[in-house]
Amino acid sequence: GNSVTQMEGPVTLSEEAFLTINCTYTATGYPSLFWYVQYPGEGLQLLLKATKADDKGSNKGFEATYRKETTSFHLEKGSVQVSDSAVYFCALRYNQGGKLIFGQGTELSVKP
Amino acid sequence: NAGVTQTPKFRVLKTGQSMTLLCAQDMNHEYMYWYRQDPGMGLRLIHYSVGEGTTAKGEVPDGYNVSRLKKQNFLLGLESAAPSQTSVYFCASSRFDRGLYDEQYFGPGTRLTVT
């Protein structure tokens, strides 16, 4: 079946460090891929998305590229800030009902 | 434009009690979803609706019922709460237009504790 696997957290970085959060997926067909972010005490917000192979999603300095050959959608940011501290969820969407399948989430903590 | 709102924000129930969580959206979205979030498990889909008067089961539907009597509202019911239903519940909605699904917009969540 369809599934998403993320690297385990928590991830702790110093401000201005480089961030990578790994995400791999298993799916039939060609799903769309997403990264959502959840700040403390809030709901999820869409961070970026990619709808087909080799697409790059980007937003707020974050990037992720849809790699069909490695079934991956790793999240990267060149220089993290304290305000990036949150939980990040990778997700895939397949066509039936537009439903999302989420990874387990990766908590990021950025220290000044 | 409030987006997606959820009522209540917090609730404590005793085992066997019932309750209803309300989700409302003011974006005229066709699709609505209920998820639960548990530590280390991400979000899992409980039920969803593709339009007024329709509902369908998601990944973890047991112990929950839903209703969508109005397009803007999606209710999640627990008939007889169990400690295993202690979780944070999120509602989401999305548009479906010309064969394409739009992004899902999430509410702020309801933290439910069953003792």
pLDDT tens digits, residue range B35-50?
999 988 889 999 999 9
Least confident stretch, A65-74, B74-83, B94-103: B94-103
Which among A34, A99, A101, A107 is the top mutation candidate for probing chain B, defined by the most B β-carbons within 10 Å of its own β-carbon?
A99
pLDDT surpassing 70 at residue A20: yes
User: A94 pLDDT band (50/70/90 cuts)?
Assistant: confident
Among B99, B112, B96, B115, residue whose Cα is nearest residue B34: B112
State the Cα–Cα distance between residues A79 and B25, nearest whole angstrom: 36
Which among B38, B45, B93, B101 is the top mutation candidate for probing chain A, defined by the most A β-carbons within 10 Å of its own β-carbon?
B101
| Nearest residue on chain B to A37, alpha-carbon basis | B106
Contacts of A4 in chain B (CB under 8 A): 42
Does residue B98 or residue B22 have the better pLDDT? B22
Asked if the Cβ–Cβ distance from A102 to B44 is below 8 Å, we say yes
Asked if the Cβ–Cβ distance from A102 to B43 is below 8 Å, we say yes
User: A96 pLDDT band (50/70/90 cuts)?
Assistant: low
Looking at residue A37, its pLDDT comes to 97
pLDDT > 90 fraction of chain A, expressed in percent and rounded? 79
Looking at residue B54, its pLDDT comes to 94
Total number of residues shown for chain B: 115
Looking at residue A10, its pLDDT comes to 93
Among A56, A45, A57, residue whose Cα is nearest residue A84: A45
pLDDT tens digits, residue range A32-73?
999 999 998 888 999 999 988 999 999 999 999 999 999 999
| Nearest residue on chain B to A31, alpha-carbon basis | B101
Among B79, B85, B74, B59, residue whose Cα is nearest residue B107: B74
Residues of B within an 8 Å Cβ radius of A: 4, 31, 33, 40-45, 48, 50, 56, 58, 90, 92, 94, 96, 101, 103-104, 106-109
